[in-house]
Amino acid sequence: MRIYSRITGTGSYLPPRRVTNQDIQADLATRGIETSDEWIVERTGIRARHFAAPDVTSSDLGLEAARKALEAAGRTADEVDLIIVATSTPDMVFPSSAAILQHKLGASGCPAFDVQAVCSGFVYALTVADALIQTGAAKCALVIGAEVFSRILDFNDRTTCVLFGDGAGAVVLEASDQPGILASDLHADGKHSDILCVPGNVSGGKIIGDPVLKMDGQAVFKLAVGVLEKAARATLDKAGMTEADIDWLIPHQANIRIMQSTARKLKLPMEKVIVTVDQHGNTSAASIPLALDHGVRSGQIKPGQNLLLEGVGGGFTWGAVLLKL
């Protein structure tokens, strides 16, 4: 009998501190940098984001999301036999945030590792977990996206510091005799690594390079819209489905313009798109599971519906997952 994987629970967590566009505007003004709520909303659709406290890490945020996902699935930590954390802002160089989260969760023994594909990270991690479950290597996986992007922002660059936020989302993915994950499609092209990156590192106890986010916004936009459509169509083709079969599009919440353009190319009305970017900002690998959990808990997303998840991020990486909830 073939083994499939299905999402049985979702969870998310946002740090308490909510930062509005007006808050960002006031902070930048103290350094003589101009911006406005209207400027940010018009270009990005973002109105607010959440920033973690200085002593809060990605594993802390991921832990809260994981607990909620486990509760929703009716599972306990000792039943988890695989933990994958998608993050670009790990707690430390090593060990992985997944291993640290595993201990905080009260689990032990099962494999735990991080996946680094930036804003495509959750789609990558979900695909890896699905593959491991299909081989029989795992039966109950925690797949988490968690980020503290506020730590790597240049608050003197108004074009990037207004975009990102912190948060975490998680799903419980379990073995099933009924298909849940229907198809996926993953890609990367390293020749575009310079258009979205944090070109810094630690060497000999010193910071080498520039440890804050750099982005060529126009280049990212142009590339993102094209590759997202191709990944979406490739995933649908693998499942023998068309855009008409999609109940909900859950894209990476980077920019409302990218989301609108992708929906338009797939002939989907925005009423079929889960949108959280206005309140969360871009939370990188956390954005898709955050949006998924929001859709589930708000009652928009219902069991049995077909969901298309798609992400694009630094690397350049991109991909999509089609699933039935």
pLDDT tens for each residue of 278-308: 999 999 999 999 999 999 999 999 999 999 9
Based on the fold, state whether residues 138 and 17 are members of the same structural domain. yes
Based on the fold, state whether residues 166 and 228 are members of the same structural domain. no
Q: Is 140 a catalytic residue?
A: no
Query: What span, in angstroms and rounded, lies between the C-alpha atoms of 238 and 262?
Result: 19
Final residue belonging to a domain, choices 155, 177, 199: 177
**pLDDT at residue 1, rounded to an integer:** 86
Assign residue 301 a region: left if phi > 0, alpha if psi is -120 to 50, beta otherwise? beta
The average pLDDT across 306-323 equals 98
**pLDDT at residue 209, rounded to an integer:** 96
Based on the fold, state whether residues 208 and 170 are members of the same structural domain. no
101: which residues sit within 8 A by CB, 6+ positions away? 59, 62, 63, 66, 83, 85, 112, 144, 146
Based on the fold, state whether residues 71 and 104 are members of the same structural domain. yes
Based on the fold, state whether residues 169 and 187 are members of the same structural domain. no
Based on the fold, state whether residues 53 and 97 are members of the same structural domain. yes
Provide the token pair at 259: 């989301």
A 10 A CB-CB count for 35 gives: 18
Based on the fold, state whether residues 89 and 186 are members of the same structural domain. no
pLDDT tens for each residue of 54-72: 999 999 999 999 999 999 9
- Domain range for 288 is 182-324
pLDDT tens for each residue of 141-178: 999 999 999 999 999 999 999 999 999 999 999 999 99
Based on the fold, state whether residues 166 and 196 are members of the same structural domain. no
DSSP assignment of 177-195 equals: SS--EEEEEEEE-GGGGGG
Q: Which residue has the tokens 């207004």?
A: 162
The average pLDDT across 309-317 equals 98
**pLDDT at residue 86, rounded to an integer:** 99
Q: Of 50, 192, 252, 294, which is the active-site residue? A: 252
Based on the fold, state whether residues 148 and 217 are members of the same structural domain. no
Based on the fold, state whether residues 225 and 173 are members of the same structural domain. no
Provide the token pair at 96: 């992985």
- Determine the residue type at 199: P
Provide the token pair at 111: 């494999």
Could you tell me the pLDDT band of residue 253, with boundaries at 50, 70 and 90? Answer: very high
User: Which DSSP category does 139 fall into?
Assistant: S
pLDDT tens for each residue of 107-120: 999 999 999 999 99
Q: pTM to 2 decimals? A: 0.98
Q: Of 21, 50, 110, 119, which is the active-site residue? A: 119
238: which residues sit within 8 A by CB, 6+ positions away? 182, 183, 184, 185, 322
Could you tell me the pLDDT band of residue 240, with boundaries at 50, 70 and 90? Answer: very high
Provide the H-helix boundaries in 74-139.
Answer: 97-105, 121-135
**pLDDT at residue 257, rounded to an integer:** 96
Query: What span, in angstroms and rounded, lies between the C-alpha atoms of 119 and 278?
Result: 17
How far is the CA of 56 from the CAs of 89, 149, 208, 274, 298, in angstroms? 12, 12, 24, 28, 27
Q: Is 255 a catalytic residue?
A: no
Q: Is 306 a catalytic residue?
A: no
Count of domains observed in the chain = 2
Based on the fold, state whether residues 320 and 216 are members of the same structural domain. yes
User: What CATH number is attached to the domain comprising 186?
Assistant: 3.40.47.10
Final residue belonging to a domain, choices 177, 211, 232: 177
Based on the fold, state whether residues 74 and 216 are members of the same structural domain. no
In sequence order, the β-bridge partners of residue 82 are 141
Q: Of 197, 255, 282, 294, which is the active-site residue? A: 282
Final residue belonging to a domain, choices 129, 154, 177: 177
On the 0-12 / 13-18 / 19+ scale of CB atoms within 10 A, 205 is exposed
